[in-house]
Amino acid sequence: MDTEWARTFLTVVATGNFMRAADRLHVTQSTVSARIRALEQQLGCILFVRNKAGATLTPAGRQFQKHAATLVRTCEQARQDASIAHGYRAVLTVGGRFALWVELLVKWLPLMRQLAPDVSLRAEMDVDDGLMHRLVDGTLDIGVMYTPQSRPSLTVEYLFDEHLVLATSDPAATGHPGEGYVFIDWGPEFLAKHSMNFPDFGTPTLVVGIAWLGLQHILQYGGSGYFPMRLVRRYIESDRLHEVRDAPSFTQPVYMVYPAERDADLFGPALSSLRDIAAAAQIEEQR
């Protein structure tokens, strides 16, 4: 399949219109139509319903969308891997949750540069499901996450426990989530523990999937939320935030996931240095 067809398909999905897709791709509208028509002929199905309002995905189009995204991403990854910069023997792609990059995995980058200066690094961020999907399809080498999934071709290794504390801008706050509480989505295990400890807690006013975003909101507008101590310690020490001492704390395990069969020379330094970073984080958490 021509990857340009898949890229054009995704652009039409994003813009909702053949004309706008043509403008974004810097081609004519007839070229976009021809590519989509060729793609539909190859797949043997109709991907879009065209009308005056634009282009709407058919059920077949919705099914193809996820495969088109994977196809384009895989081809782009292959292109970059095949064009390794002069002086580097390999490319290593490492992905993690945003919260794990902040003040944790970012420390791993210079360490890895020292250990393997001949390896080009790609650092990426995604949610756990996205990281797992890319590990399975081979476009990600190592994923660091909270909720891994078991796969025969992958090794899941425990790294350390995050210590989640209730941090607030109100020094008089008590141990129950109150007004201004921001629910951070740390995954199903956290949700279960949260529900057990706060059975009367209703629907939160604000739910965020990125802890950093929730933290910035609280720092600017006030409120409270559960965060890793490593993220909020400096704000607590400077009295910008306060730990609610009578509130329950939670542990959130962190794992790294990587291929069961791998190049030891390439993965060895990366995995060992990630373990070192995790060990240092665990010591910091226990302060």
Residues 115-147: pLDDT tens digits? 999 998 989 999 898 899 889 878 899 999 999
Q: 205 falls in which pLDDT band (50, 70, 90)?
A: confident
| Domains, in order of start, for the chain | 3-81 (1.10.10.10), 89-158+257-285 (3.40.190.10), 161-252 (3.40.190.10)
Q: 108 falls in which pLDDT band (50, 70, 90)?
A: very high
Task: List all residues 6 or more positions away from 8 whose beta carbon is below 8 Å from its beta carbon.
Answer: 21, 25, 32, 35, 36, 39
* pLDDT at res. 81: 63
Question: How far apart, in whole angstroms, are the C-alpha atoms of residue 131 and residue 76?
Answer: 17
Question: How far apart, in whole angstroms, are the C-alpha atoms of residue 135 and residue 241?
Answer: 37
* pLDDT at res. 239: 95
pTM for this model (two decimals)? 0.71
pLDDT at 242 over 70: yes
Residue for token pair 């909270």: 146
Write out the DSSP string of 133-197. Answer: HHHHHTS-SEEEESS----TTEEEEEEEEEEEEEEES-TT--SS--TTBEEE---HHHHHHHHHH
Question: How far apart, in whole angstroms, are the C-alpha atoms of residue 108 and residue 274?
Answer: 7
Q: Would you state the structure tokens that stand for residue 46, as one six-digit string?
A: 């109709």
- Among 91, 42, 94, residue whose Cα is nearest residue 68: 42
Q: Is there a contact between 7 and 36 (Cβ–Cβ < 8 Å)?
A: no
Question: How far apart, in whole angstroms, are the C-alpha atoms of residue 200 and residue 210?
Answer: 24
Question: How far apart, in whole angstroms, are the C-alpha atoms of residue 234 and residue 101?
Answer: 17
In the chain, the N- to C-terminal Cα span, in Å, equals 55
% of residues, the chain, pLDDT over 70: 95
**Residue 249 main-chain phi, psi, to 5 deg:** -110, 160
